[in-house]
Amino acid sequence: MPSRPSSRFEQLLSATREAGASWREDGVRVRFVARADEMVTFYVLDDESRRGISRELLGLGEGDRQCDCAIHLKARGADTLCLVELKGSKIDQAAAQLCDTAAALKRFIQTCDDAPDCCRSIAWKHLIRIHHASPGSKLSNDSVRRIRAEFGERPRVSRAEDASVKIRGG
């Protein structure tokens, strides 16, 4: 019988870890093509089977939104966590989902005694991956401000399936 993860941090990782280097939802797919010196792990936060446990562990309230997945990139001794929302449209909603999830994850890491030190110095990124046939990719000024405040960078919206360039690219 497999042992149950002993800590909140381990519970979150084991409940959300996804085998493989891609995720698809509602016809929109994101993937990461790793180089030889990179290690990539996908964590799925907002699908039917995992939503409850991840929301509970992250302390997300009823009005808080959650993004679809996170891509953890470990390369050359540095850790990057890119939160990803897959959307057909409604990209302002995607921005809110990314920001709510980032805030909850940051609180979780700060209050989780067993979180590894690397989590406290992780580089935070985000990506709104929209369907190639989406009508538009323009965020409202409020969404742009919110993303800049939460992630310290300009909004990243992409129609490309491969997220590796956007995540590595700074």
CA distances from 56 to 21, 66, 116 (A): 25, 12, 20
Question: What does pTM read for this prediction?
Answer: 0.88
What pLDDT shows up at residue 1?
Answer: 44
Kindly report, residue by residue over 12-49, the tens digit of the pLDDT: 888 888 888 899 988 889 999 999 999 999 999 887 77
Paired strand residues for 74: 39, 79
- The stretches in the chain having pLDDT less than 50 are 1
Per-domain residue ranges for the chain?
8-168
CA distances from 28 to 23, 64, 86, 169 (A): 8, 23, 6, 22
What pLDDT shows up at residue 35?
Answer: 92
